[in-house]
């Protein structure tokens, strides 16, 4: 798995490029292309927010019509193209058409991603110049710049890669993502493009993606707010020569989940103003759904996240957050630990304060990552969710996001 963006490359059969077209006031790269050598299978998951950005609606339409013939993804940062009405839809389709013209393919072979400020129309003159420039420079080594170009308030690019042997050959999975705020997906994600050189039929690819997203991107929260633009796309080129059928699907899905989990954890670690990654594990639930519900409720709590930031082992806030998540629990059976296995301090037993040293518990909340384990004592199901601490810097970033 790549450790830095500089050694990151897409799966075989894909190239990339990026350029600065002027959408970001900083002058940093803000438009990216991911291009397949030939038409490929594609799958996507999208925000369930009822307010959906134009690129989300465009991509859902394209994948419904043409999931087996995708050639490219065009992405811009600096403008979300959300809440922009009919003009926004026309601009999203124009981005696809301009990309198709630059690459020599059809417009319904192009998927579109946008991120940035909501309610502002795209500057299509800048977009057109950017697509033309990026289209003329696509290359295998263009992936690191593409990963940087989609960043908004991110402090670093997020990349991941996994190899798995299928059908007697090595299959590569390579992806990049952006996300630092407005993060709380529900059957969707932030913005991510994942590529694989396996040959996978669209229906199987969609199934694998939903399974992977459910165990990775849907287990991360920064601030409890779901975006209008959340999208993850998975493209399969088939360049490795290995075909994924029903027998190989579990192994492929496991590898895809590993890559997506890495990206999800990087997003949580880079949450706006965050200083520490927080891993919340709930065990002893009646089923996985309820375990996820409880872990999710804890991860959303500003009080829990603030306590972590201050290294304050205020375990009552964890139990309060767990109890309002809607899942079944018995307060008298709850047990809570701070810290990773082998060095954890138990702070709650049978729903009451356990015997522990305050300073030892506080020290564990100042580590990175911070581990929180809550056992419900009702069953054998468990789930893990990733979030981050909540600092004053988060407020500063979002108090002046457009000004």
Least confident span in 69-73, 319-323, 325-329, 331-335: 325-329
For the chain, give the percent of residues with pLDDT over 70: 98
Quick one: pLDDT at residue 36? 98
Q: Are 5 and 147 in contact (CB under 8 A)?
A: yes
Quick one: pLDDT at residue 2? 45
Reported as a pLDDT band with limits 50, 70 and 90, residue 188 is low
The arithmetic mean of pLDDT across residues 8-31, rounded, is: 97
pLDDT in tens, 197-249: 999 999 999 999 999 999 999 999 877 777 889 999 999 999 999 999 999 99
pLDDT at 291 over 70: yes
The arithmetic mean of pLDDT across residues 67-75, rounded, is: 98
Quick one: pLDDT at residue 187? 58
Distance CA(403)–CA(255), nearest Å, equals: 42
Quick one: pLDDT at residue 224? 76
Phi–psi pair at 385, nearest 5 degrees: -130, 145
pLDDT at 62 over 90: yes
pLDDT at 352 over 60: yes
Distance CA(49)–CA(182), nearest Å, equals: 12
Output the pTM of the full model.
0.92
DSSP class per residue in 339-401: SSTTS-EEEEETTEE-S--HHHHHHHHTSSSEEEEEE-SS-SEEEEEEEE---HHHHHHHHTS
The arithmetic mean of pLDDT across residues 170-197, rounded, is: 86
Reported as a pLDDT band with limits 50, 70 and 90, residue 189 is low
Q: Helix or strand or coil: residue 28?
A: coil
pLDDT at 79 over 60: yes
Higher pLDDT, 204 or 48: 204
Find all residues with CB under 8 Å of 65, minimum gap 6, and list them: 108
The arithmetic mean of pLDDT across residues 311-328, rounded, is: 95
Quick one: pLDDT at residue 167? 77
Domains of the chain, each with CATH number or no CATH: 5-269 (3.60.70.12), 277-399 (3.10.20.340)
pLDDT at 195 over 50: yes
Distance CA(40)–CA(292), nearest Å, equals: 34
The arithmetic mean of pLDDT across residues 288-299, rounded, is: 96
Reported as a pLDDT band with limits 50, 70 and 90, residue 370 is very high
Distances (CA, A) of 92 to 34, 190, 210: 16, 18, 25
Bridging pattern class, strands 370-375 and 277-285: parallel
pLDDT in tens, 305-317: 999 999 999 999 9
Q: Show which residues are catalytic.
A: 189
Mean pLDDT of the chain: 94
Alpha helices, DSSP H only, in 150-301? 202-214, 249-269, 288-300
Quick one: pLDDT at residue 1? 53
pLDDT at 398 over 90: no
- Residue 12, token pair as written in the block: 């075989």
The arithmetic mean of pLDDT across residues 64-82, rounded, is: 97
């Amino acid at each position: 798995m790549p450790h830095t963006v500089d050694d990151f490359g897409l799966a075989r059969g894909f190239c990339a490029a990026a350029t600065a077209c002027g959408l970001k006031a900083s002058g940093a790269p803000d438009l990216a292309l991911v291009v397949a050598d030939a038409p490929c299978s594609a799958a996507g998951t999208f925000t369930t927010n009822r307010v959906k950005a134009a690129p989300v609606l465009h991509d859902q339409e394209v994948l419904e019509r043409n999931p087996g013939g995708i050639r490219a993804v065009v992405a811009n940062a600096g403008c979300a193209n959300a809440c922009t009405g009919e003009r926004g839809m026309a601009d999203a389709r124009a981005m696809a058409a301009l990309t198709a013209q630059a690459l020599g393919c059809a417009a319904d072979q192009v998927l579109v991603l946008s991120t940035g400020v909501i309610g502002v129309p795209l500057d299509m003159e800048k977009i057109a110049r950017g697509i033309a420039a990026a289209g003329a420079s696509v290359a295998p080594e263009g992936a690191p710049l593409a990963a940087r170009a989609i960043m908004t308030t991110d402090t670093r690019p997020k990349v991941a890669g996994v190899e798995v042997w299928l059908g007697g050959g090595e299959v590569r999975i390579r992806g990049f993502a952006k996300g630092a705020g407005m993060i709380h997906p529900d059957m969707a994600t932030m913005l991510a493009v994942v590529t694989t050189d396996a040959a996978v039929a669209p229906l199987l690819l969609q199934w694998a993606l939903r399974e992977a997203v459910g165990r990775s991107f849907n287990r991360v929260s920064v601030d409890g707010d779901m975006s209008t633009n959340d999208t993850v796309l998975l493209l399969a080129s088939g360049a490795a020569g290995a075909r994924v059928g029903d027998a190989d699907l579990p192994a492929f899905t496991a590898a895809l989940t590993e890559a997506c989990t890495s990206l999800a954890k990087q997003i949580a670690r880079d949450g706006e103003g965050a200083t520490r990654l927080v891993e919340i594990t709930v065990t002893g639930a009646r089923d996985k759904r309820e375990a996820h519900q409880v872990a999710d409720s804890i991860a959303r709590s500003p009080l829990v996240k603030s306590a972590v930031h201050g290294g304050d082992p205020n375990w009552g806030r964890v139990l309060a957050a767990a109890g309002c998540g809607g899942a079944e629990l018995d307060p008298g059976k709850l047990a809570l630990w701070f810290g990773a296995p082998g060095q954890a301090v138990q702070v709650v037993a049978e729903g009451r304060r356990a015997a522990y040293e305050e300073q030892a518990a506080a020290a564990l909340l100042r580590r990175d990552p911070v581990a929180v384990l809550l056992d419900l004592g009702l069953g054998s199901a468990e789930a893990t969710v990733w979030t981050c601490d909540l600092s004053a810097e988060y407020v500063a970033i979002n108090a002046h996001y457009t000004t």
